[in-house]
Amino acid sequence: MSLVTTIRKSLVPIHREGYPFIAAAVVIALGLLLFSTFLGMLAVGLAIWTALFFRDPPRVTPVREGLVVAPADGRISQVGLARPPRELDLSDEPLLRISIFMNVFNVHVNRAPVTGRIERLAYKPGLFLNADLDKASEDNERNGLIFSTPYCRIGCVQIAGLIARRIVSFVREGESLGAGERFGLIRFGSRVDIYLPVGTRIQVAEGQLTVAGETIICDLAQPQPRDTAFRVS
């Protein structure tokens, strides 16, 4: 194996959405280095961070039927009952919502939480509040998806944050995805919410770190409790 091949395989892949930003950061860094070493090195650091932000590492998704996996890398900031966004037309009643907050150092490529068909896509412009705030679910710019599965309909909402200014979607209505497949990304800090039926027995808790496409949220194929209170096991 050649040295070039070895180096290439050891590097984390970069998503193509990041190429223009990385190129711009590199040009700026090279330009500043001609005038100021200090400013140039700061710009080099920014270029490296930009490349890391758009990294897209491979993931190994569990393949058991009925599993719901995390759609984003980050920290589970909220677990509780909440009404899904109206534009999704998912439910008029509160559902079990799991919110995953992504900071600027997390991988920002989002992955399908389940295997299913995208029944609905709904984009809504809005504000750019801190994505960790509860009201960000209602006020911030967002892009929602409904996944239709043999077990139930599941909502997944990308929410822009304080720094985020662009939600990118890779999919269309009617398209079928496998759990762990890429469906979009959010540039520069944000949050992803998952909406599940009330009573779903989840396997995660607030404060837990998640890995998109790998961390198991719940198993829909397992018998669920019949009462209406959400459960954390």
* Residues annotated as part of the active site: 190
- One-letter amino acid of 151: Y
Answer whether 194's CB lies under 8 Å from 98's CB.
yes
Rounded to the nearest 10°, the torsion over CA 15, 108, 65, 193 is -150
Length of the chain: 233
Q: In what order do the strands lie in the sheet with 153-160?
A: 176-177, 116-124, 142-148, 153-160, 190-196, 95-102, 74-82, 209-210
Contacts of 232 (CB under 8 A, 6+ apart): 79, 201, 202, 204, 205
In this structure, the strands spanning 116-124 and 176-177 are antiparallel
3-state SS assignment for residue 89: coil
Indicate the DSSP class of residue 85.
P
